Amino acid sequence: MPERTELRLTPQRGAVLEVLKAADDHPTAAEVYERVRVAAPGIGSATVYRALALLVSTGHALELSLGDGTAARYDANTSRHDHAVCERCGRAVDIDQPVPDGMVAEIARRSGFTITGYDLQFRGLCPECQSGGAGQGPGRRQ
């Protein structure tokens, strides 16, 4: 993740950032656009996409690739954390249990890599999908 840099927060960028901060479901760009339009009906989709790219490049948001070929998702939580992802409905939740530094150092030692960062994803079924429900996650796939 890039270091957080200064960002001139225009009303449009502010609206996009507020949507991300309010979201707990890691929305796609299309979902961010739909939500931003509630507060700013005249905003264009290209403006939202550009704002998301800028927020990511300046360290104010994360772009998540869940590795399953679906659209990228966005997260305003830029602190070190990982994710659990439902394989059925696509729901992603934050996991705030860090990998111990000693384990990262051991992986670096064994692999010969200088570890500069990592993204960890746990995959499985969310509680709703386990119980046979439709799942509540965005991007529901069955």
Residue 89 assigned to a binding site: yes
Angle CA 78–136–61, to nearest 5: 15
Report the alpha-carbon distance of residue 39 to residue 128 in Å, rounded: 30
User: For residues 120 and 82, is the Cβ–Cβ distance under 8 A?
Assistant: yes
101 annotated ligand-binding residue:
no
As a whole number of Å, the CA-based R_g of the chain is: 17
CA 38 to CA 28: how far, in whole Å? Answer: 16
Q: How far apart are CA 84 and CA 71, in angstroms?
A: 17
68 is in an annotated binding site: no
Structure token digits, residue 125: 């079924």
**3-state class of 129 per DSSP?**
helix
Annotated binding site: which residue ranges? 82, 86, 89, 126, 129
Annotated binding site for Fe cation: which residue ranges? 82
Annotated binding site for Zn(2+): which residue ranges? 86, 89, 126, 129
